[in-house]
């Protein structure tokens, strides 16, 4: 008996509603027969049978929600029913139990109670991930909780560990390929399972004595094939697996364009790949013919490219960043506010405190001061630490200041946040920043550290930038870009030219609930704490 897993039925879709079952438990089904209709948030989708057989169980009832990559129904394949082996007779004194047949020379050893490791849920809404690095190889012994593989989701790098001790039998997904949630990731032989390999098994009959249960001059489906239109299945549809249909969508092809080589005109993956390769060849021939025609008419051909175009799929964190930045820029009315901050006194204070922080094995940068001053300034303008509800009808003022910081990691831009800055000391904030920065740059920051931010800082000055126009990290309502610190001439109280450390900052605010006066007052309060850092002592916990 096999479980039919609900396949990918649309980009980003993780669940759907069962609208109508076309079969019942016990019904006989044919290959490509419509089995069930499901409704996604975009369209009604018809699911067909992958092969002929008999439905044994419906896991999801009409009106309930089905999950992508989860069992939808169970069925017994027609081929499995026909080839079901006879049960082994119990061993008696007169008739001893038969021993396992010896495999022929050169044949692969039979599978010894191998188990499949199913990729679990690794984040809300995540249905696939990229295999970044295998820590083990086939045939290698693993221990319980040993790191086995690193996978990259659209949010972070996740480390998958072994559920129990054993031996790796097979890696189903190669490095750089896409693994599906709730699909097998690798197979392994659990420790101690060799002891079960001596169980009695029936000796197979000799090959020449095997006979079909009934003779027929042609397969049972041949008559049905003759009655349908060539290239169409028995239900008037071009047969193709969901994975093949998805491959066609990715390349902008219609199912009718690709001739199928399978039974009843089924379009196989090899057919699509072959069609694409032939299409590329046709394009190359057209380009050569065009260049030849241009030469014959006296027109100069276009200059050849200096090299091949390198194509890299947009995946993981970069794909999510692209989507969210477009959404934020197109749905939030941004406005910018710039200011200069004199951080001369702040730099001097940090230099005095750095040895004390180093004694606690903590690296003290300016970022803890920025965050702590921001948490104090929020008390004067709490709307900077608020957010709008989904239908933009309410403003929710958040009780905790969770300051996010943009980190340029190897996986792309990540924004982990320090939670509850208002309740931490400067040293505690510095330690948390150090932890999050190291985790983000290694691509191993946790999902909890990426969620729940209320206001963000982008330190472009660390890379040499002076000004920027940042995009708000929705659903937050404000973000600040901090430029590099420059030593510039300024006038003091007695009109003398002095050298001061000047840092530029640029705020972006959500103009739906924040106006220029509000962000100016907030920035002035924040600036006051940074230019006279000793004033923060009155409010530090």
Q: Which of 145, 197, 279, 515 is catalytic?
A: 515
Active site residue 515: yes
Give how far the C-alpha of residue 503 lies from the chain's centroid of Cα atoms, to the nearest Å. Answer: 37
Examine the residue annotation and report whether 69 is marked as an active-site residue of this protein: no
> Angle between the 242-250 and 269-296 helix axes, to the nearest 10 degrees?
20
Q: Give CA–CA dist 421/368, Å, rounded.
A: 9
The Cα 242–Cα 180 span in angstroms is 14
Q: Cα Rg for the chain, rounded, in angstroms? A: 32
List for the chain the helix, strand, coil content (%; round to 5).
Answer: 30, 25, 45
CA 382, CA 359: separation in Å to the nearest integer? Answer: 36
Task: Determine contact, residues 275/253, Cβ cutoff 8 Å.
Answer: yes
Quick one: 369 exposed, middle or buried, by C-beta within 10 A (0-12, 13-18, 19+)?
Answer: buried
Other CB atoms within a 10 A radius of the CB of residue 393 amount to 7
The 3 state secondary structure assigned to 457-523 is EECHHHHCCCCCCCCCCCCCCEEEEEEEEEEEEEECCCCCEEEEEEEEEEEEEECCCCCHHHHHHHH
Number of neighbours of residue 41 by Cβ within 10 angstroms: 10
Q: How far apart are CA 496 and CA 480, in angstroms?
A: 32
Nearest-CA neighbor of 434 among 353, 541, 360?
Answer: 360
d(CA 225, CA 239): 13
* Distance, CA of 35 to CA of 55 (rounded, Å): 10
- Given the residues 172, 182, 334, 511, select the one marked as catalytic: 511
With 0-12 CB in 10 A as exposed, 13-18 as middle and 19+ as buried, what is 234? middle
Name, in order, each residue with C-beta under 8 angstroms of 329's C-beta and a sequence gap of 6 or more: 471
Report the alpha-carbon distance of residue 378 to residue 385 in Å, rounded.
Answer: 7
Q: Which residues are catalytic?
A: 511, 515
């Amino acid at each position: 008996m096999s479980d039919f897993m609900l396949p990918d039925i649309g980009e980003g879709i993780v669940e759907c509603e069962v609208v109508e079952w076309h079969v019942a438990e016990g019904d006989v089904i044919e290959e490509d027969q419509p089995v069930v209709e499901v409704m996604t948030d975009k369209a009604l989708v018809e699911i067909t049978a992958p092969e002929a057989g008999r439905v044994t169980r419906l896991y999801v009832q009409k009106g309930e929600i089905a999950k992508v990559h989860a069992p939808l129904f169970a069925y017994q394949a027609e081929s499995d029913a026909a080839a079901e082996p006879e049960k082994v007779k119990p061993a008696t004194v007169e008739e001893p139990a038969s021993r396992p047949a010896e495999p022929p020379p050169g044949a692969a050893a039979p599978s010894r109670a191998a188990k499949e490791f199913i990729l679990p849920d690794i984040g809300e809404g995540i249905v696939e991930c990229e295999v970044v690095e295998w820590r083990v190889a086939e045939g290698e012994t693993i221990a319980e909780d040993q790191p086995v593989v690193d996978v990259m989701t659209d949010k972070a790098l996740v480390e998958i560990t072994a559920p129990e001790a054993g031996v790796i039998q097979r890696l189903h997904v190669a490095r750089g390929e896409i693994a599906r949630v709730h699909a097998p990731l690798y197979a392994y032989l659990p420790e101690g399972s060799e002891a079960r390999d001596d169980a009695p098994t029936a000796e197979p009959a000799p090959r020449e004595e095997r006979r079909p249960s009934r003779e027929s001059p042609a397969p049972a489906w041949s008559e049905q094939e003759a009655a349908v239109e060539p290239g169409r299945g028995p239900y008037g549809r071009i047969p193709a697996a969901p994975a093949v249909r998805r491959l066609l969508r990715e390349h902008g092809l219609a199912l009718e364009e690709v001739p199928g080589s399978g039974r009843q005109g089924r379009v196989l993956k090899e057919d699509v790949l072959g069609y694409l390769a032939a299409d590329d060849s046709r394009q190359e021939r057209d380009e050569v013919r065009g260049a030849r025609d241009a030469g014959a008419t006296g027109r100069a051909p276009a200059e050849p490219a200096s090299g091949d175009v390198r194509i890299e799929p947009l995946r993981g964190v970069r794909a999510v960043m692209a989507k969210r930045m477009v959404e934020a820029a197109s749905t939030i009315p941004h406005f910018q506010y710039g200011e200069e901050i004199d951080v001369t006194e702040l730099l001097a204070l940090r230099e005095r405190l750095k040895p004390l922080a180093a004694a606690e094995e903590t690296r003290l940068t300016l970022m803890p001061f920025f965050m702590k001053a921001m948490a104090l300034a929020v008390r004067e303008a709490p709307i900077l630490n608020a957010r709008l509800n989904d239908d933009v009808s309410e403003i929710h003022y958040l009780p905790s200041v969770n300051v996010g910081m943009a980190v340029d990691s190897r996986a792309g831009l990540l924004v982990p946040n320090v939670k509850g800055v208002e309740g931490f000391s400067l040293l505690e904030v510095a330690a948390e920043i150090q932890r999050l920065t190291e985790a983000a740059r290694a691509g191993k920051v946790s999902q909890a550290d990426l969620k729940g931010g209320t206001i963000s800082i982008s330190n472009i000055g660390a890379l040499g930038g002076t000004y920027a126009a940042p995009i708000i990290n929705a659903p937050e309502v404000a973000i600040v870009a901090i430029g590099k610190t420059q030593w510039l001439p300024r006038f003091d109280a007695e009109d003398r030219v002095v050298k001061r450390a000047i840092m530029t900052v640029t705020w972006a605010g959500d103009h739906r609930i924040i106006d220029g006066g509000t962000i100016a007052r907030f920035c002035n309060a924040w600036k006051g704490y940074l230019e006279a850092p000793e004033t923060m002592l009155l409010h530090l916990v």
